[in-house]
A and B are shown apart, each in its own frame.
Chain A
Amino acid sequence: MGGQPMQVYEVFRREREGGAMQHAGNLLAPDIELACHYAREFYGRRQESVRLWIVPRVAIRDLDDPDLLQPPFDRSFKKPAGYSTEIKAKLAKARARAGQEGESR
């Protein structure tokens, strides 16, 4: 296609009402209108979607800096799972202590 340079568009789809938008894939198109048509063909023509988002890839800010995303110190206390693991361990110890105390009484 001569005139317009082709652009990459990222497509997101919702499988059913109430569901989250999820990345479906991407496609090449010369403009947003044809990108919408092609998104419909690739990710919607088999009734597998109730909604599509079509986004030019250039509109996406890419962030992969490890200093921002993978801090070096232990951050397990910021994770619900980490917190619950720790509290379970503490609870187990406390119970053990309480049990021993009970026996000594």
Chain B
Amino acid sequence: MTKGESAAPVNQFDPETRAALTELLLQMADDEFVIGYWDSEWTGIAPILEEDVAFASLAQDEIGHAQALYRLLAELEGGDPDAIAFGRPPEGYRHARLLDHPRTDWAFSVARRFLYDTADAARLDALAASAYAPLAGVVAKMRREETYHLLHMHAWLDRLATGGEEARARLVAAMERLWPDALCVLDGIEGDDLLVAAGVLAEPLADVRRRWLAGLAPELSRLGLPAPPAAVAAGACRGPSRGDDFRWLWEQFTMVRRSDPEAVW
């Protein structure tokens, strides 16, 4: 990120709006960070060598997006982006429950990434014209990279849905399992109405979610894939309690930093 993008005054918001902005940035950053780590696990074991490179590259892009968002957070709240990214206990992460699942099989990872990327795209749409200029700048760059991510995931959804019995059965099972948690990505946050009033967010997250689901409906219907459930399943959408799978991933991605938190790279 260039210095020019961080020029907007960070004290332009009242405390409640600012708290909502901080929460939104943390949720987005953690979403990108955690899916980036899960999907990078396909490096070396994707269905073909070419896809191995492609999927790992997508995962790496998400880590880059997380880095840009952690920097925004550090500018807004003070602190070190790396410390925000790697320095919290598992309970401190704010990613959606959709990203608590392990990578499982290929159809599962494709289904999860498809659901996440399309939800994230709807969220980014609502931030493209954000009055918080540093965020609008980062979002503009993210959306350009997401163009390719979306193309790639639509292509894979289509192939698994129409590519034979086993592929289709695995995809359908994955989507049925993931849908209730996928809705969590766009669960409302406290104060998102304040963000709308301040022009940071174009519409409340509940409306973003409706727009996301309406946009997906024709494709799901064409491919005969499971439609979303009427409501999010019970339980907290974004922690603090996490299962063993995320705890394992946290152990992995914090391992090096925990070995020497003061190391200079």
Contact = CB atoms under 8 A, between A and B. Distances in A.
Interface in B48-62: 48-51, 53-54, 57
Contact of A28 (B50, B57, B163, B167): B50
Given A34-B155, A37-B155, A1 B57 contact: no
Interface residues of A, number: 16
Interface of B: 47-51, 53-54, 57, 148, 151-152, 155, 159, 163-164, 166-167
A37 B48 contact: no
Contacts of A2: 163-164, 166-167
A37 B54 contact: yes
Nearest to A1: B47
Contacts of B49: 28
A37 B163 CA distance: 18
Interface of A: 1-3, 6, 27-30, 33-34, 37-38, 40-42, 45
A37 B58 CA distance: 11
B57 A6 contact: no
B155 A38 contact: no
Contact of B54 (A3, A30, A41): A41
18 contacts: A1-B47, A2-B164, A2-B166, A3-B164, A27-B50, A28-B50, A30-B159, A33-B155, A34-B50, A34-B155, A37-B148, A37-B152, A37-B155, A38-B53, A38-B54, A41-B50, A41-B54, A45-B57
Contacts of B167: 2
B50 A38 contact: yes
Nearest to B151: A37
Q: Which 9 A-B pairs have the closest CB atoms?
A: A38-B50, A41-B54, A41-B53, A3-B163, A2-B164, A37-B152, A41-B57, A27-B50, A33-B155
